[in-house]
Amino acid sequence: MASIVTFAEHRDGKLRRPSLEAVSEARRLAGALGASVESVILGSGGFLSGLADELASYGADKVHVFDAEALASYSTEVYARALAGVVSGTGATVVLVPFTAMGRDLAPRAAASLSAGLVSDCVALSVKDGRLEARRPMYAGKAYATVRWEGQPQMATLRPNVFPLGARDASRKAEIVTANVETGSRARVVGVHATATGKVELTEAQIIVSGGRGLKGPENFHLVESLAGALGAAVGASRAVVDAGWVDHQYQVGQTGKTVSPSLYVACGISGAIQHLAGMSSSKYIVAINKDADAPIFKIASYGLVGDVFEILPKLTEAARAYLASKG
């Protein structure tokens, strides 16, 4: 039987949402392709078996668990070797990897070693004549391409927050396979230093409030953070404010920052340069606040507020707090 292999990424003992989106999408495609769904997870520790069960509940028929101390930290070389090993061992026809920082690094390496075609940053997948067809943005989101693969396996990275989660069925069980990989590598991780803890991860956030140069200075960025706090949102930023040193690069949204697809993106004092739009134009609803009615951000905004961020943001924050408090 043909199989679809998905790569599962986790952090702090929990599966990252894009991993669940990948396995959900694999389950959705499995019927049309007459394929089974197999997931690959690597790491170190007993918690991996719980994560394997969770992958099963979202649709995996089989989970390949690589559990070794040497796999505790991500290594491109070793992780790609493990993923490619499962793909060639199962003769998988389709491989789905989340388009996260790790997936962007891992998938090309695994694809190269498998001589497979890789379509990155897919926003839709369908099956035509028994083969996969993908839709992906091009030219920083100005156009969309429909792409088909030649040969097998057909590898794709999936943009986070675009593919819906399937219905979870906790009674669904998968075959769990303990797998091994040669852990020798030319690079060694000597330490991992987390910068932001306890904050909503930008690429997985359902709501993002982003600030741009219209905030005038770092001392005013708290206005963006307050609205984000009120909405339970992640904070984002334009490159202009990152380059000016107001906030760290990890907050940058755009072509050279993070690609996000939240349900709601609030752009505050951001002009809407094409490089910024490249990272957020697939958001479901976009609210723009800008004092220039001709700012390009309004061309893609679902709702536009022409006005001063210094007047609007405090009122919006207060209104959001009051509304959410009234909802209990």
Q: Is the CB of 43 or the CB of 211 nearer to ligand FAD?
A: 211
Q: Is 257 in the site for ligand FAD (CB under 6 A)?
A: yes
Stretches 30-38, 155-163, 174-182, 303-311: which one binds ligand FAD (CB under 6 A)? 303-311
CB of 253 to ligand FAD, least distance (A): 6
User: What secondary structure, in 3-state letters, does the chain show?
Assistant: CEEEEEEECEECCEECHHHHHHHHHHHHHHHHHCEEEEEEEEECCCHHHHHHHHHHHCCCCEEEEEECHHHCCCCHHHHHHHHHHHHHHHCCCEEEEECCHHHHHHHHHHHHHHCCEEEEEECEEEEECCEEEEEEEEHHHCEEEEEECCCCCEEEEECCCCCCCCCCCCCCCCEEEEECCCCCCCCCCCCCCCCCCCCCCHHHCCEEEEECHHHCCHHHCHHHHHHHHHHCCEEEECHHHHHCCCCCHHHEECCCCECCCCCEEEEECCCCCHHHHHHHCCCCEEEEEECCCCCCHHHHCCEEEECCHHHHHHHHHHHHHHHHHHCC
- Closest-approach residue to ligand FAD (CB): 254
Q: Is 270 in the site for ligand FAD (CB under 6 A)?
A: yes
Among 231, 251, 241, smallest CA distance to 271 is for 241
Selected binder of ligand FAD within 69, 169, 182, 292 (CB under 6 A) = 292
Q: Is 308 in the site for ligand FAD (CB under 6 A)?
A: yes
CB of 2 to ligand FAD, least distance (A): 38
Q: Is 271 in the site for ligand FAD (CB under 6 A)?
A: yes
Q: Is 104 in the site for ligand FAD (CB under 6 A)?
A: no
Stretches 173-181, 186-194, 253-261, 317-325: which one binds ligand FAD (CB under 6 A)? 253-261
Among 53, 40, 38, smallest CA distance to 4 is for 38
CB of 212 to ligand FAD, least distance (A): 3
- Give the tokens for residue 189: 């991780």
Stretches 45-53, 155-163, 227-235, 255-263: which one binds ligand FAD (CB under 6 A)? 255-263
Q: Is 291 in the site for ligand FAD (CB under 6 A)?
A: yes
Binding mask 211-250 for ligand FAD (x = CB under 6 A): -xxx-----------------------xxxx---------
Looking at residues 159 to 218 of the shown chain, list those that interact with ligand FAD (rule: CB under 6 A). 212-214
Q: Is the CB of 59 or the CB of 212 nearer to ligand FAD?
A: 212
Q: Is the CB of 269 or the CB of 304 nearer to ligand FAD?
A: 269
Q: Is 275 in the site for ligand FAD (CB under 6 A)?
A: yes
**Residue ranges that bind ligand FAD, judged by CB under 6 A:** 212-214, 238-241, 252-257, 269-271, 273, 275-276, 279, 289-292, 295, 308-310
